Amino acid sequence: MFVVTIVADNSTLQNITGTILLAGAGKMGGALLTGWLAGGLDPRRVAVVDPHISPEITALAGRGVALNPDVKAAGAVETMVVAVKPQMFREAGARLRSFVSETTSVVSIMAGTTIASLQEVCGGAVVRAMPNTPAAIGRGITVAVAANDVSAQQRAVADALLRATGSVEWVGDEGLMDAVTAVSGSGPAYVFLLAEELARAGVEAGLPEALATKLARETVAGSGELLHQSELASSTLRQNVTSPGGTTAAALGVLMGEPGLRDLMIRAIAAATQRSKELAK
């Protein structure tokens, strides 16, 4: 189970009176659930549906979280958060639909899965959202788009649930969600890969593996924190490291050369965007 340290305004979370049903309590669903409870959501308001509930989630039963309730035991579901794999959605959706009433809103975090598919399979007033794993420490960013029939109150509850794990950006155009998924949904993986490859290159350059790993990890984490706390543009922070004719300029000559990181990143984001579109089918 993750520890959430930063929680935004949570008054809406604390005032939720219906059931929040989480379908799929894996890595992302589990991180969201942790954020909700840390943000003051009453555990007795939460139900989890998942065929293989982890020991961490099982332990929450003692605080009142309902595990795999039937439709009757779940009570009136105010919001159903769908966090199963997109490939499983159509199969899972038939059962999930039975929890949805006329007043239920359905918040999906599934990559690729469109508002139209969600409306067809689950019904309900649909919010499509894309969080990322820094949610596990309250530092995620989520982009969300609401279908036309989502009420202001349903949107406020969805916003509170998503904001419990970091910041939220609402957009009006669902067409942006594939690229959003590629940039911020998958984005943490690119940063972790950078840490891995920086360490590997350090070993190639002669450093002991443990030292290279520590230097790479702390450098990526410290730079991320500097970017977070500073008001300067990332390009300025980069220039601040780059002494004229120095070591950084030598490395950046490679990374910013042709082909360089720019081309690689454009190709990577295009591949992820394309995959998100494919998952819609």
Ligand X SMILES: NC(=O)C1=CN([C@@H]2O[C@H](COP(=O)(O)OP(=O)(O)OC[C@H]3O[C@@H](n4cnc5c(N)ncnc54)[C@H](OP(=O)(O)O)[C@@H]3O)[C@@H](O)[C@H]2O)C=CC1
Ligand Y SMILES: O=C(O)[C@@H]1CCC=N1
Name which of ligand X, ligand Y, none residue 83 binds, using a CB cut-off of 5 to 8 Å depending on partner kind.
Answer: ligand X
- Residue 96 CB, nearest approach to ligand X (Å): 7
Please check if 72 is assigned to a binding site. Answer: no
Please check if 43 is assigned to a binding site. Answer: no
Q: 23 vs 147, which CB is nearer to ligand X?
A: 23
Neighbours of 36 (CB within 10 A): 26
- Residue 232 CB, nearest approach to ligand Y (Å): 28
DSSP 32-78: HHHHHHHTT--GGGEEEE-SS--HHHHHGGGGT-EES--HHHH-SEE
In the list 113, 186, 213, 273, the residue contacting ligand Y (rule: CB under 6 A) is 186
Q: 117 vs 202, which CB is nearer to ligand X?
A: 117
Name which of ligand Y, ligand X, none residue 105 binds, using a CB cut-off of 5 to 8 Å depending on partner kind.
Answer: none
Query: Hey, what long-range contacts does 264-267 have (CB within 8 A, 24 or more apart)?
Result: 265/190
DSSP 137-183: GT-EEEEEEE-TT--HHHHHHHHHHHHTTEEEEE-S-GGGHHHHIII
Q: 114 vs 186, which CB is nearer to ligand Y?
A: 186
Please check if 85 is assigned to a binding site. Answer: yes
- 111 near ligand Y, rule: CB under 6 A: yes
- 114 near ligand Y, rule: CB under 6 A: no
3-state secondary structure of 277: helix
**By CB neighbour count within 10 A (0-12 exposed, 13-18 middle, 19+ buried), where does 166 fall?**
buried
In the list 185, 199, 212, 216, the residue contacting ligand Y (rule: CB under 6 A) is 185
Identity (one letter) of the amino acid at 58?
Answer: T
Instruction: Report the alpha-carbon distance of residue 47 to residue 84 in Å, rounded.
Output: 15
Please check if 84 is assigned to a binding site. Answer: yes
Applying CB under 6 A, the residues found at the interface with ligand X are: 23-29, 49-52, 83-86, 88, 92, 109-111, 130-133, 185
- Judged by the rule CB under 6 A, the positions of this chain that interact with ligand Y are 111, 181, 185-186
